[in-house]
Amino acid sequence: MGPSNVDRIEAPVTVKAYMMCAFAAFAGILFGYDSGYISGVLGMAFFKREFGHPVPTSIDETGFLYSTSNKSLIVSILSAGTFFGALFAGALADWIGRRVTIIVGCIIFSVGVILQVASTSIGLLVPGRLIAGIGVGFVSAINILYMSEVAPRKVRGAIVSGYQFAITIGIMLASVVSNATQHRNDASSYRIAMGIQFVWAFILGVGLFLLPESPRYFVKKGKVDAATDALARVRGQPRDSAYIQDELAEILANYEYEREIGEVGWVGLLSGGWSPAGNFRKVVLGALLQMMQQWTGVNFIFYYSTTYFQQIGLKNAFLISMITTIVNVCSTPISFYTIERFGRRTLLIYGAIGMLVCEFIVAIVGTADPNGHSAQGALIAFVCIYIFFFASTWGPGAWVVIGEIFPLPIRSKGVAVSTASNWFWNCIIGIITPYMVDKDQGNLGSKVFFIWGALCTACVIFAYFMVPETKGLTLEQVDKMLEETTPRTSAKWRPHETYATAMEKHSEAATVEHVEPKSAGV
């Protein structure tokens, strides 16, 4: 018997269920801290002496500095590792489970951290960051998958936004810690900042060890009994409750349906082509969405704002950078409400409009009056407003949407490819930005914001034409909505039939067809 009421597929959200899902968001701290700590560490005098080479004090007051290529290698090797880690993790999560893949990610990450802490030269630091990056790739791709699969639909967006919130806290903690240890005159300056990463991996690994596996993974593996147990635990309901039975029937029916129409495997990502519900279209949407999130230019601020602020003559560059990380943290929770109230699509469209306006203002003001006192004040204010728009819209929005658009047979791989795209562009932007901005290179200075503004305009167009509204639907309903609407009409779509009832009708019809020829013959 399948559920017939399309609104009643899920149990009411209990506090325990909510807490369980919210815990998984903790992974964001690991992600944020890990990508955030390096900018502070690179600025430490002891680290420069240990990992750099002698230069005249007119170039760097410590008398030591890294070559541009070494600096770029140290920063970007992490994103390179993360890119491959995310891709590989997609296949692994279907094989050994979502939860176990994240735990394995924590272990790999810890190995990378040991190498980093032990390093006294680039020879060990770079492999350490590469290996840690692979671990972060596992965690960042599969955590989104896990959270989207276990979270109740009414709070799914808010829970995944909680992950982004944790990322922002991680970035802020990293800047606070490296600021606190920067003046130590021994290896503890960078070892403390690096070593703290263990704490996040430990808490996440142990916590996930205690949480249940995703019921959707068990369904995929054909273990219906284990799926029922897991679902009962994440919903805080008894196994035989009608809610659990209905939701399970829906997940099973959807999986059957998906399996009938498409193959799985990596090649399965291409099936259906560009048709509205085609797998390929969804994969392109996920990968582009994450690319666009990087194109907003946000990591220009989080990776290079200190040096940019110095370059345009601001005295408190370090402090202002730290303020941007705090604005980032404080603005993210707004999305917990708005993402469920106004929807993903609306947030992405208006968020990008807000960002592009700020970016063009920064570009114009910074170009027209580069050293003026009030111009600089305006510039700082608009950079902060820009971060506000990012943190309350695209920051969480991109992660929420990639957790929701993929059907179960390709979900883990689809999320993995999208996450890998985020890291790929993260890496590219990390490598090329200094060459565009630095005085001895492209020397764009504030003009670089014309580029970010233009790219953000592309984000508005992209969100308007390609991003569907997924708010308030179960992951199975999202599938149906994608089949029956276009992104621009998606917000009006309402569920009208569950997969379980559709499959029932389908099998009844099949039985009748099967019986009729015989009776005709009698």
Which chain residues interact with ligand BGC by CB under 6 A? Answer: 164, 167-168, 171, 293, 298-299, 302, 328, 395, 422, 426
For ligand BGC, which is the closer residue by CB, 109 or 295?
295
Tell which residue, 297, 333, 337, 324, has the closest CA to residue 459: 297
Minimum Å gap between C-beta 293 and ligand BGC is: 6
Sequence-ordered strand ranges (E) for 16-157: 53-54, 64-65
Minimum Å gap between C-beta 162 and ligand BGC is: 12
Neighbouring C-beta atoms of residue 398, cutoff 10 Å: 26
For ligand BGC, which is the closer residue by CB, 392 or 426?
426
248-275 CB burial, b ≥16 within 10 A, e <16: bbbbbbbbebbeeebebeeebbebbeee
For ligand BGC, which is the closer residue by CB, 175 or 477?
175
- Alpha-carbon torsion (361, 365, 370, 372), positive or negative: negative
Cβ within 8 Å of residue 39, ≥6 positions away: 75, 175, 178, 302, 303, 304, 306
For ligand BGC, which is the closer residue by CB, 33 or 449?
33
For ligand BGC, which is the closer residue by CB, 140 or 477?
140
Minimum Å gap between C-beta 412 and ligand BGC is: 19
For ligand BGC, which is the closer residue by CB, 168 or 490?
168
For ligand BGC, which is the closer residue by CB, 101 or 293?
293
Minimum Å gap between C-beta 66 and ligand BGC is: 22
Minimum Å gap between C-beta 86 and ligand BGC is: 12
Neighbouring C-beta atoms of residue 188, cutoff 10 Å: 12
Cβ within 8 Å of residue 476, ≥6 positions away: 250, 251, 253, 254, 498, 499
Minimum Å gap between C-beta 422 and ligand BGC is: 5
For ligand BGC, which is the closer residue by CB, 349 or 391?
391
71-89 CB burial, b ≥16 within 10 A, e <16: bbbbbbbbbbbbbebbbbb
Minimum Å gap between C-beta 201 and ligand BGC is: 19
- Cβ–Cβ < 8 Å for 130, 124: no
Minimum Å gap between C-beta 188 and ligand BGC is: 27
- In angstroms, the CA 303 to CA 219 distance is 41
SS3 at position 28 = helix
Cβ within 8 Å of residue 513, ≥6 positions away: none
Minimum Å gap between C-beta 174 and ligand BGC is: 11
Minimum Å gap between C-beta 140 and ligand BGC is: 8
- Alpha-carbon torsion (40, 304, 335, 278), positive or negative: negative
- Cβ–Cβ < 8 Å for 391, 168: yes
Tell which residue, 77, 40, 76, has the closest CA to residue 305: 40
Minimum Å gap between C-beta 302 and ligand BGC is: 5
For ligand BGC, which is the closer residue by CB, 213 or 359?
359
Cβ within 8 Å of residue 452, ≥6 positions away: 295, 296, 297, 300, 359, 363
For ligand BGC, which is the closer residue by CB, 79 or 237?
79
Retrieve residue 408's tokens. Answer: 């179960």
